């Protein structure tokens, strides 16, 4: 229920839904606006989906792989976000870019937090075992 494949399915659906909503929100503004909307959505959703899925796979394993995965995802989001913001500022398309970026970031982060919270609760209950 809280495994790698189900997280990948849920996060992909969420990211696609957010991307579709962002595109529908700015559809009437022209192709350049849609391009920057997609530029704000695509890198953040890819890092959120695949980085989150990798973190789900590594959660609970020994060693530094899980924290390094989280740190790498944070750094990639910062790099992609700032790089795209530079391009959006130069093209005066900051509003669609930031709308798509923040909507995707907030949605994928919220899913990740809820996922790990529920998964940790499940592991805690399973490790306690049945009452005697």
pLDDT in tens, 25-56: 998 898 999 999 999 999 999 999 999 899 88
As for how many domains the chain has, the answer is 1
In a domain, 51, yes or no: yes
Q: 46 lies in a domain?
A: yes
Residue 131 confidence (pLDDT) above 60: no
Q: Does 54 map to a domain?
A: yes
On whether residue 130 sits in a domain, the answer given is: no
Distances (CA, A) of 58 to 65, 72, 111: 7, 13, 17
What is the percent of the chain where pLDDT is above 70?
91
Burial of 107 (0-12, 13-18, 19+ CB in 10 A): buried
131 domain-assigned: no
User: Are 108 and 8 contacting, i.e. CB atoms less than 8 angstroms apart?
Assistant: no
Question: Residue 10: inside a domain, yes or no?
Answer: yes
Domain encompassing residue 39 = 4-123
pLDDT at 56: 86
pTM (predicted TM-score) = 0.81
pLDDT band at 121 (very low <50, low <70, confident <90, very high): confident
Long-range pairs of 54-57 with CB within 8 A, sequence gap ≥ 24: 55/112, 55/116, 56/2, 56/3, 56/4, 56/7, 56/115, 56/116, 56/119, 57/4
Query: Residue 116's pLDDT is what?
Result: 84
pLDDT tens-digit profile of 90-105? 999 999 999 999 999 9
Residue 47 falls inside a structural domain: yes
d(CA 76, CA 68) in angstroms, rounded, equals 12
Is there a domain that residue 24 lies in? yes
Tokens of 96: 């669609």
Would you state the pLDDT for residue 3?
78
The structure tokens listed for 77 are: 């989001």
- In this structure, the dihedral spanned by the alpha carbons of residues 54, 55, 56 and 60, taken in order and rounded to 10 degrees, is 130
């Amino acid at each position: 229920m809280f495994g790698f494949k189900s997280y990948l399915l849920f996060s992909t659906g969420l990211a696609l839904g957010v991307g579709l909503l962002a595109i529908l929100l700015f559809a009437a503004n022209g192709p350049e606006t849609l391009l920057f909307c997609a530029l704000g959505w695509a890198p953040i959703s890819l890092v959120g989906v695949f980085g989150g899925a990798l973190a789900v796979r590594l959660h609970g394993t020994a060693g530094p792989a899980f924290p390094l995965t989280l740190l790498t995802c944070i750094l990639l989001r910062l790099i992609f976000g700032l790089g795209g913001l530079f391009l959006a500022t130069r093209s005066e398309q900051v509003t669609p870019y930031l709308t798509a970026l923040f909507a995707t970031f907030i949605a994928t982060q919220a899913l990740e937090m809820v996922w790990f919270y529920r998964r940790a609760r499940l592991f805690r209950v399973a490790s306690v075992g049945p009452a005697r």
